[in-house]
């Protein structure tokens, strides 16, 4: 699945959620997805929190096949910045 396809999946969940922070999913060479409130973009921008992971792991995370807490504990994802934003996002996506 491409970054753009995953961004579309995220958009449907975030649009009406009231999420008001910014998060960047950084998949390295595959690109980025930035959530800023209800806006989703694949253009790199600063964010309150950056989550680094592979594109496959991001797809699994969004699909519910990868537990965000376990992924963090096992090193599949790395979080930089405001950890409370990442936790709020995991509630939204999980």
Per residue, the 3-state secondary structure of 18-84, as one string, reads CCCCEEEEECHHHCEEEEECCEEECCCCCCCEEEECCHHHHHHHHHCCCCHHHHHHCCCCEEEECHH
pLDDT above 80 (res 56): yes
- Total number of domains in the chain: 1
Identify the domain containing residue 16 by its residue range.
Answer: 3-88
For residue 76, tell me if it sits in a domain: yes
- More confidently predicted of 80 and 18: 80
Confidence of residue 94 (pLDDT cuts 50, 70, 90): low
For residue 93, tell me if it sits in a domain: no
User: What CATH number is associated with residue 50?
Assistant: 3.30.1050.10
Euclidean distance between CA atoms 16 and 4, whole angstroms:
20
For residue 46, tell me if it sits in a domain: yes
Question: Once rounded to an integer, what is the mean pLDDT over residues 44-54?
Answer: 97
């Amino acid at each position: 699945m491409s970054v753009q396809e995953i961004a579309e999946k995220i958009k449907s969940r975030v649009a009406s959620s009231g999420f008001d922070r910014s998060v960047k999913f950084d998949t390295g060479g595959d690109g980025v997805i930035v959530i800023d409130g209800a806006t989703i973009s694949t253009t790199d921008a600063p964010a309150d929190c950056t989550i680094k992971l592979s594109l496959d792991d991001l797809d699994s995370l969004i699909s519910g096949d990868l537990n965000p807490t376990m992924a963090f504990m096992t090193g599949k994802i790395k979080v930089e910045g405001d950890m409370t934003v990442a936790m709020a996002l995991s509630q939204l996506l999980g």
